[in-house]
Structure 1
Amino acid sequence: MEYEFIRDPDLDVVGKGFQVEFSHEHRIVGRWLMEEFGTDLDELQKVFDFMSEIEAAKITEQFVLGKEISLKLNRYEALIEANALHQQEHDLSIYEDDALELDENGLSAGCGFEDFLDMLEAWRDFVIDNNRKRRR
């Protein structure tokens, strides 16, 4: 999983100073991180807490329902999926004549548990370091 964290001080004014870029196949991971948490490290800490419980074998898996994107965790992997993949209330077959279909490409991505933890720790450190620099 390749990613880059970016801070643009010029965009701090509009609240978009922190950004992430992920490789194409993991782009939804970046969307999940920014849309569900952004720089709110208190909320992100809840994910770290779940991960600690999984590592200590207190729980075997955890599902975190997000507004747009959700996370499934177990000891071996993290799966990030757009909630749109699981919407049952709309019968998409009525749109067949319009040649519309749900494009599932880019709506889910998975990675190993340890890689996911490393990425989250790197994001947390990046936010903390850059918040210190902003205060100077």
Structure 2
Amino acid sequence: MEFDFIYNSDAKRYSLKLSSEQLALQCFLMDEFERRASAYQSLLEQLQRLNAQSQYQWDGKEYRLTVQASEVVICHFSLLQEGSSSIELDPEQDLELDQSQLYAECGLEDLLHLVQQWQQFLPA
């Protein structure tokens, strides 16, 4: 997974840039946490405890992170069927919404590497 970290010294703002197919992951990392290294520590520790058969779910304000068998899915709550943990992709909604900001997949190792590098870039 390719990524870039950016610090705008004029605005004193940290940002993360991922590929277009990973925009949901980028939004998840940027919107669900404060931009301090310590804000990601709890998530990182929980992810590091997982093994190849583990299942894990983390619900944020707007996104759900799900890990199953070392595969990570980031999904906006708008794609989840009410009262269910399953993802319901509506073909008509696909035409209207930019799904790239609502859904992304990656491997657990890739996510761990990204979060660790992002933590090193951010202030404590």
What TM-score, normalized by structure 1, do the two folds share? Answer: 0.72
Matched residues, percent identical? 27
Residues in 1 aligned to 2:110 and 2:60: alpha-carbon distance in whole angstroms: 21
Structure 1 contact 85–104 (Cα < 8 Å) conserved: no
Unaligned runs of 5+ in 1: 90-99, 132-136
Q: Determine which structure has greater relative contact order: mean sequence separation of CA pairs < 8 Å that are 6+ residues apart, divided by chain length.
A: 2
Instruction: State how 1:1-136 maps to structure 2 within 5 Å.
Output: 1-12=1-12, 17-55=13-51, 60-88=54-82, 101=93, 103=97, 105-106=99-100, 107-128=102-123
**Comparing both structures, which one devotes a greater share of its residues to strand?**
2
What TM-score, normalized by structure 2, do the two folds share? Answer: 0.79
Larger-gyration structure (1/2): 1
Report how many aligned residue pairs link the two structures.
113
**Comparing both structures, which one devotes a greater share of its residues to helix?**
1
Query: Aligned-pair distance for 1:50?
Result: 1.1
1:73/1:114 CA distance change after superposition, 3 Å: same
The DSSP-based 3-state class of the residue aligned with 1:39 is coil
